[in-house]
Structure 1
Amino acid sequence: MITESQSQAVPGPSYRSAEEIGRTAAGPRPLPPLDGHTLHTMPTPVDTVLANGLRVIAVRRPSTPMVELRMALPFAGDTYAQVATAEVLATTLFRGTPGSGRRQLHTELACQGISLDASRSARWLNISGSAPGHALGTLLDALAGALTSSSHDEEDVARVRARMPRQISIIRSQPHVIAQEALFAHCYGEVAGLQEVPLAAEAERVTAERVRALHHAMVRPRGAVMVLVGELDPERAVADVAAITALWGDTGTTGSELELPALREGIVLVARPGAVQSQIKLTRHTVSRADDRFPAVSIAALAFGGYFSSRLVMNIRETKGLAYRTDSGFQDHLDQLALTVDADTATDATVQAFGEILAELHRLVNAPPSVAEIDSAREYTIGMAMLALTSQAGFAGSVLTAVILGHEPERVTRFPELLRDVTTNEVADAAGAFFRPETFSGVVVGDAERLESGLRELVGDRLVPRQVT
């Protein structure tokens, strides 16, 4: 509490404005230099493959008294029924084990500050968890119990099955999901393994017996990766994982490797009568992340449309206001890495926005990014990569992503150095090789009656009308 005598001892105003704080008697306060060159170092990990085939990577980073766990198990479905069953499996994985109820398990974990969650992507069963350092053993016990003997009982499966069709229908009604599904269908035909969102009709047919059978067949240690980061002794943590998962062995049969058919050419117009917005999605295959050219392709994609100062964003979003959102980046299509360009526009602006995208692709090929553009894109992506490594959770996630994409853990700190070595000529070569507009396939989802003639003027016979049922 400020007394009267204290308040009288401070002459003048009791606060200063931002402008006053930012100035001194000698003028404006100088800003500290940007520290854009301090890179993270990779702590020496304990990286081993256990006898059952599980790869465990443990890294000590005791910035907080917590441990972060990230895990991925190969989980690509080769039928639509399997995709739906896998979705239910992920949802019910931590609902309890035989002899323990769901509420009891969650209460015991929550009381110790432990969290565990599972989700499914097109290729992986993803598990994330966190715990105080002293409770790592309890976290691992709960995880091992779910992996080896999760109950997936009739009540839980029935509850999930009852609500999932409605959730799926809501998700599948979203324009970006419609566009993504249409893109996959056009580019590859019907490939169940690409499906991120299961079909509602398939979800309604999932039974607890099918979930348990899929668990037995596919929840296997061989090929799985576990990453532990935080306040831990790496050697001891790996030994604990080995002991706790000793009875978790390979079951079922190894699934077949899914391969994509050749990417189909052309631009498909997907009809949504009366739509007031359109989604534009273009894609083409590019080099793998292990290719020496990938850093240059990354910078070219970023300079083209991958962040707020990129050419495409400045053109169709900031300057001309033709798009609500636009982006350029990479997406994994099973075993293929795809370069993607997409934009969300109003119906009236769709044709013009599409034309500007094609024009910017031409311009990137004929007038590659300048030194200034390359430096800006490089510093941005290095900064974002380094920012992701500042927390235990971000570090664990980055290491797991690097490993499941075929790299070693050191990739998370080495990739920024690879970006620094990229030359202007390498970016120009990448732009010429991978950004020619005629090499992209894609879809435009919108009001076909209002868009078809304008789009045909832009791409001619490459436009293929298609009605979504």
Structure 2
Amino acid sequence: MADTVLPNGLRVIAARQPSIPMVELRMSVPFAGATFAHAATAEVLATVLLRGGRAGGADREAAMARHGVTLAAHRSSRWLQLSGSAPGRALDTLVGALADAVTHGCADEAQIRPARERMVRQIAMIRAQPQVVAKEALVAHCYGTVPGLQEVPFPAPVAAVTGAAVRALHQERLRPHGTVLVLVGDLDPERAVALVAGATSAWGEGGPVPPPLPLPSLGAGRVALVPRPDAVQSQIRLVRPAVARSDDRFPALSLATLVFGGYFSSRLVTNIREGKGLAYRAEAGFEDHLDQLVLTVDADTATQATVRAYQEIRAELGRLASAAPSAAELDAAREYTIGMAMLTLASQAGFATSVATAVCLGHEPERVTAFPELLRSVTRGQVVRAARDFFDPDAFSGVIVGDADRLAPGLRAVGGVEIAEAAAQS
């Protein structure tokens, strides 16, 4: 593996894994913003980024097609990400296409207009999906209005995006400083770094990466019913602060989370999905809210099963905190997650994605192979302490999104759920 920061600030990590004669590419550019307009402009930029470039772009696309090279871009609330692949012999074509996109601007107005209009129609449908509604309801309930957490922009700001705004954002924020590029596959690491250095030599250094956007503190025990009239399904979304991934307690907390709801044999899945049939989906895991890691518990249920499912989730949280995971549960969870990690790292695509993710989260590339070994060393006592410290049901905040008229009476009887006055009177 070669790991180098180029003079312009771009960090390049190249690893040889010649299991098949292919190369995988992952690039992450810091792209968080503080306004809804930024989210909309960044979404348009990601959509048209690979359609522009200098004169000869058509020749570049033809060369990519001829050599079997793929490259795509998308954005999240914190990153603009590019991913691609190519046969090992076409690495120069892949890197050249990437360099062209990041160094020579993006599409003109004639290309941006139809993309923008299509996005407005697509976003209207995406934002109506229950998962998106629940995610935004959770963020609003926990933090208030935080545009920097928006994954799916609003249609109106997207419709207002101009070509000039897209080009200005490209010039201002698509910079090598703080950007990470990972290449994995049938390659020579040093030669790959040199190839990237030459191709991106014209990519300006730019300014420093903006600091992480601050978030209000996440209060404990605030669960609200969010009305979604006439919904036949409900979404339960609970969160609580977790320790950072670099914390010594994180491996034990990871195993406790797996035992609770992290895979198909976990307590939560066995109870409310397999045993009682109360949920279509139930899981627990971790999510990054900007620079804050939270422990999540999610369930999707039928409206008539929502109240009982919520009660069972709280009961399972309490049981994990009071009835420690057994040695057998711990061993099963440990072997499952280590096995899944090894399967992921065995492929070029999985290894590239894992390395890029680890580095973006502040770790070194070695984290992807070191973390499974950390899990092997976790003791049952450490998992018991993590379960006791992090799975108190009263420490979780969140939302229950569904038909308030049908859910309010049952949730009022359970107690501890904020119910809007309109729902309480219905």
Q: Give TM-score, length-normalised by structure 2.
A: 0.97
Q: Which amino acid aligns with 1:280?
A: I
Instruction: Please give the alpha-carbon distance, in whole angstroms, between the structure 2 residues aligned to 1:64 and 1:434.
Output: 43
Q: Counterparts of 1:78-89 in structure 2 under 5 Å?
A: 78-89=34-45
Paired AA for residue 88 in structure 1: V
Paired residues for 1:414-453 under 5 Å: 414-453=370-409
The alignment covers a number of residue pairs equal to 422
Shift of 1:156: 1.4
Secondary structure in 2 aligned to 1:93?
helix
Q: List runs of 5+ in structure 1 lacking aligned partners.
A: 1-44
Where do residues 254-269 of structure 1 align in structure 2 (5 Å cutoff)?
254-265=209-220, 266-269=222-225
Q: 1:186: how far off?
A: 0.5
Task: Say whether residues 1:362 and 2:318 are aligned partners.
Answer: yes
* Residue 160 (structure 1) shift: 1.0
Residues 1:459 and 2:415 aligned together: yes
Q: Which residue of 1 aligns with 2:300?
A: 344
Which amino acid counterpart does residue 228 of structure 1 have in structure 2?
A: L
What residue in structure 1 maps to residue 91 of structure 2? 136
What amino acid maps onto 2:28 in structure 1?
A
SS of 1:425's equivalent? helix
> Which residue is 2:192 aligned to?
237
Q: Percent identity between the aligned chains?
A: 62
| Cα separation, 1, equivalents of 2:193 and 2:350 | 20
Quote how far apart the aligned CAs of 1:104 are. 4.6
The aligned amino acid for 1:214 is L
User: Which runs of 5 or more residues in structure 2 are unaligned?
Assistant: none
The question of 1:330 aligning with 2:286 is answered yes
Q: C-alpha separation between the residues in 1 aligned to 2:17 and 2:206? A: 34
Within a 5 Å distance, the mapping from 1:85-96 to structure 2 comes to: 85-96=41-52
**Kept in 2: contact 1:362–1:436 (CA 8 A):** yes
Greater Cα offset, 426-435 or 451-460: 451-460
Q: Residue by residue, what CA displacement relative to the aligned partner does 1:149-177 show, whole Å, maximum 9, x if unpaired?
A: 13321011101111111111111111111
Distance 2:394 2:269 in 1: 21
Letter in 1 for 2:325: P
**More displaced 10-residue stretch of structure 1: 252-261 or 46-55:** 252-261
Structure 2 counterpart of 1:381, one-letter code = T
Say if 2:106 and 2:170, in contact at 8 Å, map to a contact too: no
| Distance across 2 between alignment mates of 1:236 and 1:369 | 49
Residues in 2 aligned to 1:433 and 1:46: alpha-carbon distance in whole angstroms: 40
Quote how far apart the aligned CAs of 1:254 are: 4.4
* Cα distance change of structure 1 residues 73 and 467 upon mapping to structure 2, 3 Å threshold: farther
3-state DSSP of counterpart to 2:415: helix
CA distance 1:467–1:430, change in 2 (3 Å): farther
What's the RMSD between the two structures over aligned residues?
1.4
Query: Of 351, 366, 371, which residue of structure 2 is paired with 1:395?
Result: 351
CA distance in 2, matches of 1:386, 1:216: 39
Tell me, in whole angstroms, the C-alpha distance in 2 between the residues paired with 1:443 and 1:465.
Answer: 12
2:102 equivalent in structure 1: 147
Within 5 Å, which residues of 2 pair with 1:207-286? Answer: 207-251=162-206, 254-265=209-220, 266-286=222-242
Match of 1:197 in 2: 152
* CA–CA separation in structure 2 for the residues paired with 1:92 and 1:104: 17
Summarize the alignment of residues 305-316 of structure 1 with structure 2, pairs less than 5 Å apart.
Answer: 305-316=261-272
Please name the residue that 1:110 is paired with: 65
Rounded to whole Å, the distance in 2 between the matches of 1:179 and 1:151 is: 34
Paired residue for 2:21, among 65, 71, 89?
65
- Contact 1:271-1:467 at 8 Å conserved across structures: no
